[in-house]
Amino acid sequence: MAMQPATMMAAHVHGPGDVRLDPIAVPLPGPGEVLVRVAACGICGSDLGYIAKGSLDGVHPLLHPLPIGHEFAGTVVAVGSGVDGVATGSRVAVNPDRAYIGGGGPDGAMAPYIRVGAAKMGDTLFPLPDHVSFADAALAEPLSVALHGLRMVCATAADSVAILGAGPIGLCTVALLHHMGARRIAIFDRVDSRLERARALGASLAVNVTTEPLSAALGRWHGAGNRFGAPFVGTDVFVDAAGSGPALAEAIGHAKKGARLAVIALHKAPLPIDLFRLMANEITLAGAIADDRPREFAEALAMIAENGAALAPLISHSYPFDCFAEALAMAADADKAAKVMLTFPEGAA
């Protein structure tokens, strides 16, 4: 196996709207760590948010440049002391949670090589079957985010589900529900091309809310009724993957008795909630942040291995790492892009 280079280019956020490829040393794995040669890394909406805000939250300024990239897969090329059961040459997808990879930790995967701490198969590292591509394997991270949200509200194949937002996480939610056997899946967005992808992934109803309100569409698709003088729709589960305050408020305002709502999206502002409706209809409202998900990560990878071809609509574009700026621009174009994937040829630095 070729020896890795001494230096490489890595993506860092330096301030609001300021992201750069900086030359840094290729890290060496210490105790409990491995070095992974990155083959594919997806661009997440949170990456674009970090760049726009210039930090993790847009409030606290950076003390040092922020490495980004957390949806990735590649090959183990070096193993530190104390790591058992991991061999060089292993093809792996990486769960970024333990070391906050690309989310405040010291390492990010928008680079040809990355150090992975707490290296353990079945926790941070997951082996890939030979037939699973690195790009498909990198989808395990956003899929596991969506799966965690569905678990928070105990979604089942028998439920009627409404998904707010047809961005990458909303699309992952559709794919998971369809894989589970759910068939009453509705999704809402303002971008027709995203809704077309949702249909291809298994959505039964895909509605542009500029042409029909969410509550009207759900009333005709999942049924409607009236309780305590207020209308409701027959939707069992709502998944907020949009981060739109008005959309979430509309969902809560029309949720039936016993409905469950999962908030996966990043909301940028507080939202007044109709607590009377929440109480009177015994609505469950659950937040979902996937930061401890080895089980869901493994299940997402199993789904990819079983039927990766069905996930093809998720990846809209693929760019080599040396086209980093073009890839970021495409990822920010909601009308054209779903999941944009960065790829790293072997030997890239």
> Which has the higher per-residue pLDDT, 267 or 37?
37
pLDDT tens profile 277-315: 999 999 999 999 988 899 999 999 999 999 999 999 999
Do 111 and 160 reside in the same domain of the chain? no
Do 109 and 184 reside in the same domain of the chain? no
> Half-sphere exposure (CA, 13 Å, Cβ side) for 264?
33
DSSP SS3 for 204: coil
CATH assignment of the domain containing 305: 3.90.180.10
Is 1 a residue whose pLDDT tops 50? no
Q: Mean pLDDT across the chain, nearest whole number?
A: 95
Least Cα distance to 156 among 185, 187, 186 occurs for: 185
Is 192 a residue whose pLDDT tops 90? yes
Residue 2 lies in a domain: no
Do 118 and 218 reside in the same domain of the chain? no
Do 207 and 176 reside in the same domain of the chain? yes
- pLDDT tier at 2, thresholds 50, 70, 90: low
Average pLDDT over residues 264-277: 91
Average pLDDT over residues 331-340: 95
Do 40 and 105 reside in the same domain of the chain? yes
- ∠205-208-211 over CA atoms, to 5°? 115
Residue 150 lies in a domain: yes
Side chain identity at 210, as an amino acid letter? Answer: T
- ∠224-226-232 over CA atoms, to 5°? 50
pLDDT tens profile 210-229: 999 999 999 999 999 999 98
Query: What is the bridge-based pairing of β-strands 125-127 and 113-116?
Result: unpaired
Contact 109, 94 (CB under 8 A): yes
How would you write 142-203 as a 3-class SS string?
A: HHHHHHHHHHHCCCCCCCEEEEECCCHHHHHHHHHHHHHCCCEEEEEECCHHHHHHHHHHCC
Average pLDDT over residues 122-137: 97
Residue 85 lies in a domain: yes
CATH assignment of the domain containing 264: 3.40.50.720
Q: In the chain, pLDDT over 70 holds for what percent of residues?
A: 99
Counting every residue, how long is the chain? 349
Structurally, the chain folds into a number of domains equal to 2
State residue 349's pLDDT score: 64
Residue 331 lies in a domain: yes
Residue 131 lies in a domain: yes
State residue 290's pLDDT score: 86
Residue 12 lies in a domain: yes
Do 133 and 266 reside in the same domain of the chain? no
Domain that holds residue 58: 7-138+293-343
Do 101 and 44 reside in the same domain of the chain? yes
The phi and psi torsions of 84 (rounded to 5 degrees) equal -105, 145
